[in-house]
Amino acid sequence: MRRYPEPMSTSRDLLRHTLATLAYRAGKALRGAPVGFAEFRISESSRTAGQILAHMGDLMEWALSIARGEEKWKDSKALDWGQGSDRFFAATGALDAFLASDAPLKVTPERLFQGPIADALTHVGQLTMMRRAAGGAVRGENYFVAEVTAGRVGADQAAPRREFD
DSSP readout, 80-143? -HHHHHHHHHHHHHHHHHHHHSSSPPSS-HHHHIIIIIHHHHHHHHHHHHHHHHTT-PPPPB-G
Count Cα neighbours of 103 within 13 Å in the Cβ-side half-sphere: 17
Q: Is residue 35 part of a domain?
A: yes
Top pLDDT among 162 and 61 is at 61
User: Rounded mean pLDDT of 63-73?
Assistant: 97
Domain coverage including residue 44:
11-145
Instruction: Please indicate, yes or no, if residue 164 is contained in any of the structural domains.
Output: no
Residue 153 sits at φ, ψ, to 5 deg, of -125, 15
pLDDT of 164 reads 86
Tell me what pLDDT residue 105 has: 96
Rounded-to-integer distance, Cα 111 and Cα 116, Å: 9
Percent of the chain residues topping a pLDDT of 90: 90
- For residue 94, being part of any structural domain is answered with yes
Residue 116 pairs in a beta bridge with none
Residue 151 lies in a domain: no
Looking at the domain assignment, is residue 6 inside a domain?
no
Tally the residues of the chain.
Answer: 165
What pLDDT is recorded for position 1? Answer: 61
| Cβ-based neighbour number of residue 19 at 10 Å | 25
Residues with Cβ within 8 Å of residue 156, at least 6 apart in sequence: none
Question: Residue 165's pLDDT band (boundaries 50, 70, 90)?
Answer: confident
CATH number at residue 16: 1.20.120.450
CB atoms within 10 A of CB 162: 11
- Backbone phi, psi, residue 126, to 5°: -60, -45
**Entry pTM:** 0.92
Number of folded domains that form the chain: 1
152 found inside a domain: no
Q: What are the tens digits of pLDDT across the range 32-55?
A: 999 999 999 999 999 999 999 999
Q: Is residue 163 part of a domain?
A: no
Give domain status of residue 120, yes or no. yes
pLDDT at res. 9: 78
117-164 pLDDT per residue, tens = 999 999 999 999 999 999 999 999 999 999 999 999 999 999 889 988
Average pLDDT of every residue of the chain:
94
